[in-house]
Amino acid sequence: MALQSLDIKARSATTTPPPDVRARGAVPVAKLIDISKCIGCKACQVACMEWNDLRDEVGTNAGTYDNPRDLTAQSWTVMRFSEVEVEQDRLEWLIRKDGCMHCADPGCLKACPAPGAIVQYANGIVDFHEEHCIGCGYCITGCPFNIPRISQKDSKAYKCTLCSDRVAIGLEPACIKTCPTGALVFGTKDDMVLHAEGRIADLKERGYSHAALYDPKGVGGTHVMYVLQHGDKPELYANLPRDPSISPLVSLWKGVTKPLMSFGLGLAVFAGFFHYVTAGPKEVEEEEKTD
Amino acid sequence: MQVTRRQFFRICAAGVGSSSLAALGFAPGEALAEVRAFKLARTTETRNTCPYCSVGCGLLMYSLGDNAKNTRGKIIHVEGDPDHPVNRGTLCPKGAGLLDFVNSPHRLQYPQYRAPGSKEWTRISWDDAFSRIARLMKDDRDKHFIAKNDKGETVNRWLSTGFLAASASSNETGYLTYKVVRSMGILGFDNQARV
């Protein structure tokens, strides 16, 4: 019997190991975003807001199709439109659905100091539990893709959950279901890699010789992957990082500084005890005692 | 219980010390977490067709309650119908946002009448609306109906009134609409499906 619908693989700021016996049976899931099929209709944005009960403020036109202009605590996915001259006299309109990549090695979870505010499920979903969030913003520092956003309303961090509530009962995420062109596909990670291979072969036949799957190894692979027509130049897609990795600040803080701090704390306690044993308790004058 | 000043300080120090240790991560947390509860678990699922365009995508509407006598349903979620051959579960951004369309405070929910030259809309009953529409149609048809053309051939045309039908109609509704409109002699007949 488990006390939750999805098994936990990792939990922020927690030292005890999670229940692990059934974890091997969990099937890793993945969302595949085929950028070559996306028409930028933003149905995924609407479906995301509808399912997750989010209603962002109506923004203003900034001269591009990006709307909202950036991710917010209320907008967990946005389409980023890039007009790129890929080569001389060849303009392409590249549309990338931005949002949480659900890294296998999540920088946000590593950086998070609040126990249980960020969890990674055995199926690969990285989820924020806002009731445990302290609003420190370390997850933003830890994220190689600049995804989490702190809400102005409640000072807690929010991002895409990969619709963990839907996936937990066997449904696909809301964005996947609504996508009219089939640019978004959902399934096991193995199946999604296989599906991507077919798409890449097709793109190569059509003249995109550098078409590739974006599943960066620097963060252990991701559970949200892209099929890129120009796989050799991910920067073209609204600065998608070529080789993302967790900020060294996180490993410095969590890796070196934390044990040092703990050691310093222990040392202070030990020194106090040693001083008590050798020097004895502080003598107290009679008149001070009668305060 | 008597607590001296020094004892009070000791209690405070012990409390701060132990809670600091816990805050620094020495207290093990339970490795448990639950996802958001699935909000459609026991809602009522109703099939419908998207009202927007001629594609006619299938919808599943989810409403509160299980249709028991004392419940009042309210649509809380709309998504595509995976069994519908047109869209197989997908929806465009307009269809995906239908929840706010259904529950919009600006939605027209009853017939309104604006007299010629007036700026005011007044609420009227469905009976009044139907009677008025029927009256005006009959008057116009009696006045402008063309039974025979110049050559004396029977044509039975009514050219001064047009009819605009909805897009989200079933084949049966479409058949009935066609029969009603054509039997009155209306030629100007179009469908919102061309949007």
Query: pLDDT digits over A81-100, tens only?
Result: 999 999 899 999 999 999 99
Domain with A273 in it: 249-279
Residue A93 phi/psi, 5-degree rounding, is -105, 105
Say yes or no: A54 and A172 in one domain.
yes
Query: Looking at the domain assignment, is residue A24 inside a domain?
Result: yes
User: If pLDDT is split at 50, 70 and 90, which confidence band does B19 have?
Assistant: confident
Same domain? A46 vs A152: yes
Instruction: For residues A168 and A266, state if they share a domain.
Output: no
For A177, the 3-state DSSP assignment is helix
Higher pLDDT: A252 or B116? It is B116
Percent of chain A with pLDDT over 70: 96
User: Alpha-carbon distance A109 to A10, whole Å?
Assistant: 8
Which whole number is the average pLDDT over A117-135?
94
Q: What is the pLDDT of residue A36?
A: 95
Amino acid B165: pLDDT: 86
DSSP label of A222: B
Instruction: Place A291 in a pLDDT band, splitting at 50, 70 and 90.
Output: low
With 70 as the cut, is the pLDDT of residue B31 above it?
Answer: no
A96 and A199 housed in the same domain: yes
Q: Which of A49-63, A149-163, A246-260, B37-51 has the lowest mean pLDDT?
A: A246-260
β-strands A224-228, A29-34 pairing: parallel
Please give the mean pLDDT across all residues of chain A.
92
| Nearest-CA distance B175 → chain A (Å) | 29
Please give the C-alpha separations between residue A49 and each of A76, B55, B103, in angstroms, as whole numbers.
8, 24, 15
Minimal CA separation from A93 to chain B, in Å: 20
| CATH number, residue A98 | 3.30.70.20
Residue A244 lies in a domain: no
**Residue whose C-alpha is closest to residue A50's, from B47, B185, B100, B33:** B100
Q: Do A43 and B39 touch (CB under 8 A)?
A: no
The listed range with the strongest mean pLDDT (A179-193, A243-257, B45-59) is A179-193
Q: Do A269 and A170 fall within a single domain?
A: no
Take residue A111 and report the two structure tokens written for it: 């950086």
pLDDT of residue B22: 64
Res A54: pLDDT: 96
pLDDT band at B53 (very low <50, low <70, confident <90, very high): confident
Indicate yes or no: CB of A50 within 8 angstroms of CB of B89. Answer: no
Is A2 inside a domain boundary? no
Q: What is the pLDDT of residue A1?
A: 42
Task: Return the percentage of chain B with pLDDT > 70, whole number.
Answer: 92
Interchain contact, A4 vs B34, CB within 8 Å: yes
What ipTM does the predicted assembly reach?
0.84
| A129 in contact with B, Cβ within 8 Å | yes
Spatial contact of A219 and A211, defined as CB atoms under 8 Å apart: no
Are residues A202 and A261 both part of a single domain? no
Asked if the model's pLDDT at residue A196 lies above 50, the reply is yes
Residue A240 lies inside a defined structural domain of this protein: no
Query: Is the same domain home to A34 and A177?
Result: yes
Q: Which residue in B5, B78, B90 has the most chain A C-beta atoms within 10 A of its own C-beta, making it the best mutation to test that interface? A: B90
> Could you tell me how far CA B192 lies from the centroid of its own chain?
17
C-alpha span between B142 and B145 (Å, rounded): 6
Q: What is the share, in percent, of chain B residues with pLDDT greater than 90?
A: 65
In a domain, A291, yes or no: no
Q: Which residues of B touch A (CB under 8 A)?
A: 4-6, 17, 20-21, 24-25, 28-39, 77-80, 82, 87, 89-93, 95-97, 99-100
Query: Is there a domain that residue A137 lies in?
Result: yes
- Judge if A222 and A273 occupy the same domain: no
- A172 CB burial (10 A radius; 0-12, 13-18, 19+): buried
Together in a domain, A151 and A206: yes
In a shared domain, residues A14 and A151? yes
**Is residue A83 in a domain?**
yes
**Beta-carbon separation of A17 and B37 below 8 A:** no
Q: What is the pLDDT of residue B193?
A: 64
User: Which range has the worst mean pLDDT, A149-158, A208-217, B21-30?
Assistant: B21-30
pLDDT at A269 exceeding the cut of 60? yes
Name the CA radius of gyration of chain B, rounded.
32
- The tally of domains found in chain A comes to 2
- Is A290 a member of any domain? no
Whole-angstrom distance, CA of residue B178 vs CA of residue B175: 5
- What's the average model confidence in pLDDT over B106-123? 94
pLDDT attached to residue B25: 55
Indicate whether A172 and A275 sit together in one domain: no
Do A158 and A65 belong to one domain?
Answer: yes
Contact status, residue A214 vs residue A231, Cβ threshold 8 Å:
yes
